[in-house]
Chains A and B, each alone.
Chain A
Amino acid sequence: MLVRPKNGILDPQGEAVERSLRQLGFPVEDARVGRVIDLEVDAASAEDARAEVERMCERLLANPLIESFEIALPDNGL
């Protein structure tokens, strides 16, 4: 799963990365820094696994005030 700062939320890490890349001459317009969490989950089906991971995100892995998350299962290629 992928956690990233919500749009409009201050992302000082992203800004620092953006400045650095520009200094190196890359034509970067915007950078946001989030994180990837790889999980192995014991579940009966892909739907069950997704629902379980969604609960994990809501409880612990993301803070809904400032972060959004996306869940990707292996067969759709994260």
Chain B
Amino acid sequence: MSEPRPRIGVLVFPGSNDDRDAAWALSAVGAEPRFVWHADPELPGVDAVVLPGGFSYGDYLRAGAIARFAPAMEALAAFAAEGGPVLGICNGFQILCEAGLLPGVLRPNVSLSFVCRDVPLVVEREDTLFTARCEQGQTLVIPVKHGDGCYQAPVDLRPEQVVLRYARGENPNGSDDDIAAVVNAHGNVLGLMPHPEHAVDPLLGSGDGGLILASLVDAARERSYARA
């Protein structure tokens, strides 16, 4: 018997460009994706939300700065406040930081160059909604492609909020302490610069991103059972 497909919202902003890849990848790991337009004031009965990559509002002012005021973001904040799982990828991570749903800020890469390549990542925590299918210390290979990925952590960031780190010597953007992914204090909102939705099929280089998305799908399924 196949497991039920939980509904996962994919927010779409003007300038998002990985929304379709995210929806395809979520579908490939067992979810039923639903696009949510940024101007929608409600989330349509979803059990998790993904903020995809791209260049919302042209990255004008600062990456993610304008997207945070979209009507759908209010609904998202309410969803996150009641414990709903939220995953922000790349520009989605930037938006979550600007919105104050995640600590810290993403600055232009130290190199000032756009980076686009596969990067090895170390799993620092396997006990999160987003990494439950991974193992502590496991190395995942997932591509990055960004110009503003230099994560600057606030002084009060707790070590346990760091979920993924770039492997030693592989930091593509100069982020503090090689941080690649952070989770909020409640553990239900995660942002990462690498793109798991571009790594769900070994034929295309790596299937490691599928572990992260499948973990999210598991969490969404749990939530859908609890809701039913």
User: Which residues of A pack against B, CB within 8 Å?
Assistant: 9-10, 12-13, 16, 60-61, 63, 65-66
- Is the CB–CB distance between A65 and B104 below 8 Å? yes
CA separation between A9 and B108, bound complex, in Å?
Answer: 12
User: Does residue B136 face the partner (Cβ distance < 8 Å to A)?
Assistant: no
In the complex, chain A residues whose CB is within 8 Å of the CB of B66? 60
- Is the CB–CB distance between B61 and A60 below 8 Å? yes
Select the residue from B105, B109, B150 with max chain A CB neighbours within 10 A.
Answer: B105
10 residue pairs, one from A and one from B, having the closest CB atoms: A65-B105, A12-B112, A12-B110, A66-B105, A12-B108, A16-B112, A63-B62, A63-B105, A10-B107, A60-B65
- Is the CB–CB distance between B109 and A12 below 8 Å? yes
CA separation between A9 and B65, bound complex, in Å?
Answer: 18
Closest chain-A Cβ to B36's Cβ sits at a distance in Å of: 23
In the complex, chain B residues whose CB is within 8 Å of the CB of A12? 107-112, 150, 174
CA separation between A5 and B107, bound complex, in Å?
Answer: 11
Q: In the complex, what residue of chain A is closest to B98 when comparing beta carbons?
A: A63
Q: In the complex, what residue of chain A is closest to B108 when comparing beta carbons?
A: A12
User: Which residues of B pack against A, CB within 8 Å?
Assistant: 61-62, 65-66, 69, 98, 104-105, 107-112, 150, 152, 154, 174
CA separation between A9 and B106, bound complex, in Å?
Answer: 12
CA separation between A61 and B66, bound complex, in Å?
Answer: 9
- Is the CB–CB distance between B65 and A66 below 8 Å? no
CA separation between A10 and B69, bound complex, in Å?
Answer: 26
Q: In the complex, what residue of chain A is closest to B111 when comparing beta carbons?
A: A12
Closest chain-A Cβ to B41's Cβ sits at a distance in Å of: 19
A-B contact pairs, 14 of them (CB 8 A): A9-B107, A10-B107, A10-B110, A12-B107, A12-B109, A12-B110, A12-B111, A12-B174, A13-B112, A60-B66, A60-B69, A63-B98, A65-B152, A65-B154
CA separation between A33 and B65, bound complex, in Å?
Answer: 18
In the complex, chain A residues whose CB is within 8 Å of the CB of B152? 9-10, 65-66
Closest chain-A Cβ to B73's Cβ sits at a distance in Å of: 13
In the complex, chain A residues whose CB is within 8 Å of the CB of B110? 10, 12
Select the residue from A10, A13, A61 with max chain B CB neighbours within 10 A.
Answer: A10
Closest chain-A Cβ to B184's Cβ sits at a distance in Å of: 16
In the complex, chain B residues whose CB is within 8 Å of the CB of A61? 61
CA separation between A12 and B107, bound complex, in Å?
Answer: 9
In the complex, chain B residues whose CB is within 8 Å of the CB of A9? 107, 152
Closest chain-B Cβ to A2's Cβ sits at a distance in Å of: 14
Closest chain-B Cβ to A56's Cβ sits at a distance in Å of: 11
In the complex, chain B residues whose CB is within 8 Å of the CB of A66? 105, 107, 152
Q: In the complex, what residue of chain A is closest to B103 when comparing beta carbons?
A: A65
Closest chain-B Cβ to A21's Cβ sits at a distance in Å of: 15
In the complex, chain B residues whose CB is within 8 Å of the CB of A63? 62, 65, 98, 105
In the complex, chain A residues whose CB is within 8 Å of the CB of B154? 65
CA separation between A16 and B111, bound complex, in Å?
Answer: 9
